[in-house]
């Protein structure tokens, strides 16, 4: 007789289940094992959570992807033929902007993880987290608008929208990122 799993104990559901469905026991056990495996897989990344240094390095890599995406928009914003590339690059930026608030867990600032002077995340991020997250949200909006505008054929509108990106990145960098050496 196997023990009732934790979620089935204590409310009498398990006993009748075992009595009338003994032959299903194996099935149930297999299902439970499968569930444990699936839930377990979900927890592996948590168990192997990134170190503060890895968090900093991986967000810098993602920020560099933003720089690359900005370059692709810059190259392709001048004519309608480039609009599909603009949409693709703005999509990268949009996804990164959504994830950005999660790239800055406490304890990954430039004082905690100096990385030889290469960590530029100022303490202000955590002192004004709502404002910081708001700057990420603004980039999310600017890029979402670009995805919509560049899906059309109004090239002037695309060029106008492109002008909003620099300030969206810059507003955050000027307050929350230490000057790069």
Summarize as ranges the residues that interact with ligand HEC (CB under 6 A).
56, 59-60, 63-64, 66-67, 70, 93, 100, 119-121, 132, 135-136, 139, 165, 168-169, 172-173, 176-177, 180
In the complex, the smallest distance separating the C-beta of residue 159 from ligand HEC, rounded to whole angstroms, is: 17
Minimum distance, C-beta of residue 92 to ligand HEC, in the bound complex (Å): 9
Shortest distance, position 30 Cβ to ligand HEC, whole Å: 45
- The answer to whether the beta carbons of residues 150 and 158 sit under 8 Å apart is yes
Minimum Å gap between C-beta 37 and ligand HEC is 35
Which CB, 66 or 86, lies closer to ligand HEC? 66
Alpha helices in the chain (DSSP H): 14-20, 25-47, 52-76, 83-99, 124-127, 129-150, 155-162, 165-176
Whichever of 72 and 80 has its CB closer to ligand HEC, that residue is 72
CB of 43 to ligand HEC, least distance (A): 26
Q: Read off the tokens for 175.
A: 């307050």
Q: What residues does 62 pair with on adjacent strands? A: none
> In terms of CB distance, is 44 or 130 closer to ligand HEC?
130
Judged by beta carbon, residue 153 or residue 181, the one nearer ligand HEC is 181
Alpha-carbon dihedral 121, 71, 165, 55, rounded to 10 degrees: -20
Token code pair at residue 179: 């000057």
Closest CA to 66 of 88, 89, 84: 89
Q: Which is nearer to ligand HEC, 73 or 155 (CB)?
A: 73
Whether 66 and 82 have beta carbons less than 8 Å apart is answered as no
């Amino acid at each position: 007789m196997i023990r009732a799993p934790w979620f089935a104990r204590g409310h009498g559901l398990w006993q009748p289940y075992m009595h009338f469905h003994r032959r299903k026991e194996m099935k149930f056990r297999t299902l439970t094992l499968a569930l444990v495996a699936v839930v377990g897989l979900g927890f592996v990344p948590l168990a192997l959570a990134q170190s503060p240094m890895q968090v900093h390095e991986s967000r810098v890599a993602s920020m560099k992807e933003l720089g690359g995406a900005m370059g692709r928009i810059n190259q392709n914003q001048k004519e309608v033929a480039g609009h599909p590339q603009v949409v693709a690059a703005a999509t990268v930026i949009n996804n990164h902007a959504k994830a950005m608030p999660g790239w800055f867990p406490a304890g990954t600032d430039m004082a905690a993880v100096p990385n030889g002077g290469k960590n530029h995340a100022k303490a202000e991020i955590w002192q004004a987290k709502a404002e910081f997250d708001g700057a990420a949200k603004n980039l999310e909006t600017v890029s979402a608008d670009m995805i919509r505008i560049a899906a059309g054929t109004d090239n002037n509108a695309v060029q106008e929208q492109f002008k909003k990106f620099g300030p969206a990145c810059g507003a955050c960098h000027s307050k929350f990122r230490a000057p790069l050496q």
